[in-house]
Amino acid sequence: MNSKYLPLAATIAVFLALFLIGGSLYRNFLSTLVLGNILADNSFIIIAAIGATFVILSGGIDLSIGSMIGFVGVCMAVLDSLGWHPMATAALMIVFGILFGALQGLIIDFCEIQPFIVTLAGLFLLRGACFMVTLDSVPIHHEFVDVYNSMKIHLPGRGWLRSSAIVMLISLFLGIIIAHFTRFGTNVYAIGGDKESARLMGVNIRKTTVMIYALGGFYSALAGVVYALYTSSGYPLAGSTLELSAIAAVVLGGTLLTGGVGMVAGTLFGGMILGLISTLIIFNGSLNSAWIMISSGILLFAFIVLHRFLVSSFNVKGT
């Protein structure tokens, strides 16, 4: 097997192991019902994480994801109360997300500022904007929300594939195509692998950087739309620290934080692992929810160490 699939294989193995552990501990755990719920409950995190995968593959970071989700949510809710159709608002917010991301990318490349700082500014800016729009939790009443939430596909067994999960799987498919079958995708890997070499090999760094963050903005805005429809409301604090969960999903999915190595498909399993952990602890019932974060933290740490060894086995020979 090609060594580049090793991290992905490790991620899938961990996911299956956790799922089987759940199945051995609790009756009814090993079912499409649980799987379908995990997919639907974590769909917005995974959607945002797909965008973050591109950013991290290029060696960057996007901290504005959580605030973007919150901002999109409150805009959806407030515009709903003004009579907008949710789909129209969604389209508007996605265009906003793309432009906001593109602007972040442009600033990062043009001013040569670290992505950390630029997107941290984006985080504060968008969170502040949430509070400018509304200070309260605003429900979305439009009938489309009920239609959206009742749409589902039967899975074998008792499970459902809810609409959020469907949107997530379509975004994942789109992400895989972009990452592995377009010039842009290859350029993302090249920039993350070695920016200077990529420049000398003829990659247009600025254009690619702008597109990477625009794509990140697209995915976080889409995640915001899915979250707002799923919860049928907008709340100015929604999505706080969600960017960190998204980054965790990306890293658990086998993508290196230093860029250049990783796969979009891994992010799905990374996000699912996070979801599985919280489901397991909720199933247990007697454990404090603090254990969700503690075990996620331990797993994340173990994974980074594992990748360190996997990657060093094929990355250092040349230098």
Partner 1 sequence: MNMNASTPRVEMRGICKAFPGVLALDNVNLTLMPGEVHALLGENGAGKSTLIKILTGASTKDSGEILLEGKPLSFQTTGEAQALGISTVYQEVNLIPAMSVTKNLTLEKTVGRFGMISWRKAREMAREKLRRLKLDIDIEQAVGSYSVAVQQLVAIARALDDDTRVLVLDEPTASLDAQETAALFDIIRDLKSRGIAVVFITHFLDQVYEISDRISVLRNGNLVGTGLAKDITRNELISMMIGRELGEVEATFAAKSNATKGEPVLVAEGLGRKRTLKPFNLTLRAGEAVGLSGLLGSGRTELTKILFGAIRHDSGTLSVGGKSVGRSSPRYSINSGIAFCPEDRKAEGLVGELSIRENIVMSMQAKRGWLSRVPRRDQERLAEEMIKALAIATPNADKPVGQLSGGNQQKVVLARALASQPSILLLDEPTRGIDVGAHAEIITLIRELCQKGLALLVASSELDEIIASSDRVAVLRDREKIGEIEGADINREKIIQMIAGDDGH
Judged by the rule CB under 8 A, the positions of this chain that interact with partner 1 are: 2-4, 177, 181-183, 186-187, 189-190, 193-194, 196-198, 200-203, 260-261, 311, 314-319
Among residues 11 and 232, whose Cβ is nearest to partner 1? 11
d(CA 246, CA 227): 14
Cβ 202 to partner 1 shortest distance, Å? 4
Cβ 260 to partner 1 shortest distance, Å? 5
The candidate with the shortest Cα–Cα distance to 266, out of 249, 245, 243, is 249
Structure tokens at 218: 């697209």
d(CA 270, CA 48): 12
d(CA 173, CA 129): 32
Among residues 124 and 314, whose Cβ is nearest to partner 1? 314
Write phi, then psi, for 114 (nearest 5 degrees): -60, 140
Tally Cβ neighbours within 10 Å of residue 65.
36
Q: Do 314 and 7 form a contact (C-beta atoms < 8 A)?
A: no
Among residues 79 and 179, whose Cβ is nearest to partner 1? 179
How far separated are the first and last CA of the chain, in Å rounded?
A: 24
Cβ 167 to partner 1 shortest distance, Å? 23
Among residues 256 and 272, whose Cβ is nearest to partner 1? 256
Cβ 256 to partner 1 shortest distance, Å? 8
Among residues 154 and 308, whose Cβ is nearest to partner 1? 308
The residue whose two tokens read 């509304």 is 134
Among residues 165 and 251, whose Cβ is nearest to partner 1? 251
Cβ 187 to partner 1 shortest distance, Å? 7
Cβ 299 to partner 1 shortest distance, Å? 24
d(CA 6, CA 12): 10
Write phi, then psi, for 154 (nearest 5 degrees): -70, 135
DSSP states of 102-120 as a string?
HHHHHHHHHTT--HHHHHH
Q: Do 199 and 205 form a contact (C-beta atoms < 8 A)?
A: yes
Cβ 72 to partner 1 shortest distance, Å? 28
Among residues 164 and 208, whose Cβ is nearest to partner 1? 208
Cβ 104 to partner 1 shortest distance, Å? 24
- Assign 156 to helix, strand or coil: coil
Among residues 22 and 193, whose Cβ is nearest to partner 1? 193
Write phi, then psi, for 120 (nearest 5 degrees): -65, -40
| Rounded alpha-carbon distances, angstroms, from residue 200 to 59, 162, 291 | 18, 46, 48
d(CA 46, CA 40): 10
Cβ 54 to partner 1 shortest distance, Å? 16
Among residues 83 and 202, whose Cβ is nearest to partner 1? 202
